[in-house]
Amino acid sequence: MSLREFLDNFEENCEPIKGAAFQWSAKGVGFGQMYFYLSEDDGYVHCGNEIMSRAFLKEMLCKMVDNCVLDEPSDRHPDTGPDGKPPGYNPKPVKRVDY
């Protein structure tokens, strides 16, 4: 089996190893947390979403990914410069909030 055939047999998947928590804030909405975890009860990925919709969670996660600096940039990805920064990167300070 070639490497390409091996890689083509992978299923598309992304899941937390144990759990991942994200704090968010949005103008006109407020602030909160989303927590993704693999349930021991049913084996599925669950999300503690604080009643926010899937669309909202996707929007927050996409903003985080779009604004991050990649630690391992690659010239194979046209959406990232050689320094790992997205095009038009304009860093905004992130305020850490501990509850």
Please state the domain count of the chain. Answer: 1
How does pLDDT run across 10-20, given as a tens digit for each residue?
A: 887 777 777 88
In a domain, 89, yes or no: no
Kindly list the strands in the beta sheet with 30-38, ordered across the sheet, starting from the edge strand earlier in the chain: 19-26, 30-38, 45-48
In a domain, 81, yes or no: no
How does pLDDT run across 74-90, given as a tens digit for each residue?
A: 767 667 766 777 766 66
Higher pLDDT: 73 or 4? It is: 4
Tell me the residue range of the domain where 33 lies: 14-60
In a domain, 50, yes or no: yes
Nearest to 63, CA basis, from 47, 86, 44, 81 = 86
Residue in the structure block whose two tokens are 């320094």: 83
Residue in the structure block whose two tokens are 């390409």: 4
In a domain, 48, yes or no: yes
Any idea what DSSP says for residue 55? H
Q: What is the pLDDT of residue 99?
A: 47
Q: What is the pTM of this model?
A: 0.65
Residue 97 pLDDT greater than 70, yes or no: no
